[in-house]
A = this chain, B = another copy of it.
């Protein structure tokens, strides 16, 4: 507490409560903190030259991080609760220096970081940083506006519309996903939010028809390979968990959803009086990059009046290459389509791109109804109202869960411009090529097996137990995963396919080269040898 506040408390003693507060406030405000002056040498809240000086320091710190990134254990090796032991238990009263903070980042934070940008990171799916993406984040943080509606920064809304039209063009999406028609694109934070908002739009659309008390009859469909975000969206939206059909897949379809199974499930549900309303198909599942057959599935949804959402969070990026575009053939049947530019498209997290065919369906579910005006919270009229009446203005707050939103289109715009289509295609093809190389390495070692077809940059594989010990297969693979990850030399993750513990090797970090794949494979071989010998 400042000296002024203490002084005020003295002065205010003996007064009644309300008067005490007033005096306290008075003395404090006029006392220790005249104007916005801070002590000589203290960092000001904002100051162009102090910003310049300190941000240059931060640039060097971050560039050095990338220079040395291979020296860190990829997967953090700390124990839970490690950080509390290293940091004080209160915020400081007086300012500390940037150097103090950076020293702490180096000594205390970095050991607890799992380095997603390491070239030896092969876990989950990638989460690309890039020079362009990073610069876009900087610029967005510099401008730091909150673009909830058009007027709060027209450039933020309009650049988003334009850039998502650019990307839709690269993906050869149907016309109705472009902002020039009834639909359009919007940047969500994550694929979880994307599936949630379209589920809500679909829910409310059907409830307007059948009445809101029928919510218990609504049924959602997807394969059992679908990301858990769908179930979470159902839970949030009040869809009964027993009405969430996760249809079984197996290796006979490479873990893709079978249209026949979907048809059967829908017929059965309709027969018992339930209301099918939503299908989530996936192009590139989280487990094994399975691709659901969009065209066949889309026809079924259409004939049943259902909303058809396509989740291509990871694999969507690859579809800017003509040779991979066929994986989204049938997208013209979809009501919504999602890909995460923050996964494998060099755009820093978060940037999940959602296109919808009918933007009004979204808005009808997600409109922020203001007390002040039916259309807008606190919006000045000048240029705005005439435009709004002409329906030329998009307010993205009504397309998403949160009200506020960052200027995220800047980073995607910078990625597209600073790399250009050709280099982006090369970037994706290179990872796919490296994954193919890894797949070949696995195939050449008879102790290992590739367990699902590689389509993009993910290889699903396992180490095989000796013939007489097949029941230990899951344990063996789990032990192998733990063994390689605890070296810190690489980080891979796992999945379960047809009940089998399966290792995943996902290529996709911006710095990964062939030598990293080769070294990772060597660690895997060495650790497998040791484990197999100890059996």
Contact = CB atoms under 8 A, between A and B. Distances in A.
A113 B229 CA distance: 34
B32 A131 contact: no
B131 A146 contact: no
Interface stretch (A21-29, A262-270, A275-283, A466-474): A21-29
Interface in A472-496: 478, 481-482, 485-486, 493-496
A15 to B, nearest CB: 13
A45 B485 contact: no
A428 to B, nearest CB: 9
A200 interface: yes
Contacts of A173: none
A305 interface: no
Given A111-B155, A427-B45, A35 B349 contact: no
B58 A56 contact: no
Interface in A302-317: none
Nearest to A216: B213
A326 interface: yes
A403 B188 CA distance: 12
Interface in A104-147: 105, 108-117, 123-124, 127-135, 137-139, 141-146
A150 to B, nearest CB: 7
B117 A371 contact: no
A422 interface: yes
5 contacts: A35-B513, A48-B67, A84-B161, A112-B153, A113-B153
Q: Determine how many copies of this chain the complex contains.
A: 2
B369 A228 contact: yes
Given A55-B134, A82-B154, A153-B114, A28 B323 contact: yes
A381 B493 CA distance: 10
Contacts of A65: 142-143
Given A138-B58, A378-B493, A158 B81 contact: yes
A289 B409 CA distance: 33
Contacts of A182: none
Interface stretch (A1-9, A290-298, A444-452, A521-529): A1-9
Interface stretch (A71-79, A330-338, A354-362): A71-79
Nearest to A69: B48
Given A95-B420, A215-B238, A228-B368, 19 more contacts: A1-B421, A35-B514, A48-B66, A54-B131, A62-B138, A81-B392, A83-B158, A92-B416, A108-B155, A113-B156, A116-B144, A124-B146, A141-B141, A192-B402, A225-B371, A235-B366, A236-B237, A380-B493, A381-B481
